[in-house]
Structure 1
């Protein structure tokens, strides 16, 4: 998986428990923050040290960028 081959990581809007992370139709998991997202990418074969979360060639963010991990009405907090 990499941006050079047109593969993009879709980060769904924040919901209960975090943000769903997808590549195509495959769901990688539910991330509670950037560390979770980077771990999913590592498992998918990307080097997390070479990934920039604000890279528009790699990421499509829905419902907020890499600094938003909880829904506005989510009173549980989170990072």
Structure 2
């Protein structure tokens, strides 16, 4: 993946939009969804650190907020 991942704030309907650069990867409703999007984008979900600010830009709340 060439771009940093951006996880948007929780939407009013629930879930967080996930982007890599300008590409929307999907809407994650939990950490498992996020890891699946990262896997599809070419990252190894077993080794990726979603708390690494160089990789993931959490907008609004951090990785514990999904609702």
| Secondary structure in 2 matching 1:28 | strand
The aligned counterpart of 1:34 is 31
User: After the TM superposition, which parts of structure 1 deviate over 4 Å for at least 4 consecutive aligned residues?
Assistant: none
For structure 1, list consecutive stretches of 5 or more residues without a partner in the other structure: 71-79
1:17 Cα deviation from its structure 2 partner: 2.9
Is 1:12 equivalent to 2:8 in the alignment?
yes
Larger Rg: 1
How many residue pairs match? The answer is 66
TM-score (normalised: structure 1): 0.79
Residue 63 of structure 1 deviates from its aligned partner by 1.0
Q: Give, in angstroms, the shift of residue 52 of structure 1.
A: 1.0
TM-score by length of structure 2 reads 0.93
RMSD value over aligned CA atoms? 0.9
What is the correspondence of 1:57-76 to structure 2 with a 5 Å cutoff? 57-70=54-67
Counting helix residues as a fraction of each chain, which structure ranks higher? 1
Structure 2, unpaired ranges of 5+? none
